[in-house]
Amino acid sequence: MKIVLLASGAGSLARAVCQAQVANLQIAALISDKQCLALDVARDHEIPTHVVEMRNDRAEWSSELEAAVQKYSPDLVVSVGFMRILSSSFLKKFKTINTHPALLPLFPGAHAVRDALAADASVTGTTVHWVDEGVDTGPVIAQKEIAIHSGDDEASLHERIKIAERLLIVETLSHFASQGIPEITNG
């Protein structure tokens, strides 16, 4: 199974995938929308990298991103901390999964950990889901729960979630690599 990673940040998820050495998994490239530490993680693992910087013309950017990904003909695109919404054209061309630091459909969006704390939730977690045209609205593939402790702040909770998130994305990719990529389902 050949994948392309999309990342925008520090690269902890990308590092987990690269270091896992999943059988039957080839990481063809890591593509980012900006200069970030995730690019260094990929380079450290001798994985080709590309930066497709965001443009004022979003359609132009999306077209460039599609071309960069298509160059590798991936079986699956894996968003590991990529902080951009993908176009419907992109999603029609590439099966794409994402990780999210909450138990979707609860707490979608960029502030999931903060939102879980603000809601006084007792449990949150992480989700791997199919990417659709909404924001964190695609069908759930897998989830792991994380208890929220009374002394948690956003940083401490997010750190515990990230540990589970790294394990869950590797487990999901291992399953896909050994069993095949499932069809996208809504339930």
Residue 168 belongs to domain with CATH number: 3.40.50.170
The upper half-sphere exposure of residue 102, i.e. CA atoms within 13 Å in the direction of its Cβ, equals 20
| Structure confidence by residue, pLDDT tens digits, 47-91 | 999 999 999 999 999 999 999 999 999 999 999 999 999 999 999
pLDDT at 184: 84
Sites in the chain below the pLDDT cut of 50: none
Counting residues of the chain whose pLDDT is more than 70, the rounded percentage is 99
**Average pLDDT over the chain, rounded to an integer:** 96
Stated pTM of the model: 0.96
Domain count across the chain:
1
| 86 in a structural domain | yes
Q: How far apart are CA 124 and CA 106, in angstroms?
A: 8
Answer whether residue 30 is part of any domain.
yes
**Catalytic-residue membership of 149:** no
Q: Please check whether residue 185 lies inside any domain of the structure.
A: no
Q: Which of 100, 129, 149, 158 is catalytic?
A: 100
In a domain, 163, yes or no: yes
- Confirm whether 186 is domain-assigned: no
- Is 50 contained in some domain? yes
87 domain residue, yes or no: yes
**187 occurs within a structural domain:** no
